[in-house]
Structure 1
Amino acid sequence: MRRFQILVCDGPSCGITHESDRLVTLLKAGIAADPELKTRCHVAAFNCFGRCSEGPNVFVRPLAPNEKGEDEPREVSGLGFYPGMTEEKVATILERHAGEGTPVAEWVEEY
């Protein structure tokens, strides 16, 4: 089964203005409550996606076999960027993108 890293922007805009820390709390709780996600998903902070006005921003990316999910990557790219995350959307992303491996087409963007 694929492993995922869920990056949550903690830059000044997302972190302070958009309170991205509440999304981190929800993601970690959702992962902890699901035995399958607990073994495959990691939440990590990301410095800034550069799309501050759209925050809080989240990026879901697959992890390489030996890659540690707790470590912030130097850069990210690909289909997995979710701008303007809400508490409700986070639950759906955990279920569909992280759980089933299918990006949520109506919200996801190429980054």
Structure 2
Amino acid sequence: MRRFQILVCDGPSCGITHESERLVTLLKAGIAADPGLKPRCHVVAYNCFGRCSEGPNVFVRPLAPGENGDVEPRDVSGRGFYPGVTEEMLPVILERHAGEGTPVAEWVEEY
């Protein structure tokens, strides 16, 4: 069973200007409502992706076996970066990327 960590930027721009806390709340609610996602997904605030003008930014990354999904990683890289995330995008990201394991091609970028 693949597990995912969903990082939501909480840096000065995303956290305040782009209200990333709202995204965290919505992600957690969406995961809690889906029995298939609940045991496999962790939502964590991330310090900063360095792309503040594009926020709010979210990164979905697979967790390694045994990796603690509640701990903010030091570095992130790969195909899982979603800039400019809106509330409407979240259910799609949860269903397709976290649920099916397929990044949402029209929104995702390499980071």
TM-score band, normalised by the shorter chain?
A: over 0.9
Aligned partner of 1:5 in structure 2 is: 5
What corresponds to 1:14 in structure 2?
14
Provide the rounded CA distance (Å) in 1 between the counterparts of 2:88 and 2:69: 23
1:17-69: CA deviation from partner (whole Å, max 9, x where unpaired): 00000000000000000011001000001000000000000000000011011
CA RMSD of aligned residues (A): 0.4
Give the structure-2-normalised TM-score: 0.99
What is the 5 A alignment of 1:1-111?
Answer: 1-111=1-111
Structure 1 unaligned spans of 5+: none
1:19 partner amino acid: E
TM-score (norm 1): 0.99
Identity within the alignment, %: 86
Size of the aligned set, in residue pairs, is: 111
1 or 2, which has the higher helix percentage? 1
Letter in 2 for 1:92: V
Following TM superposition, the consecutive aligned residue runs of length 4 or more in structure 1 with deviations greater than 3 angstroms are none
Give the 3-state SS of the residue equivalent to 2:84 in structure 1.
coil
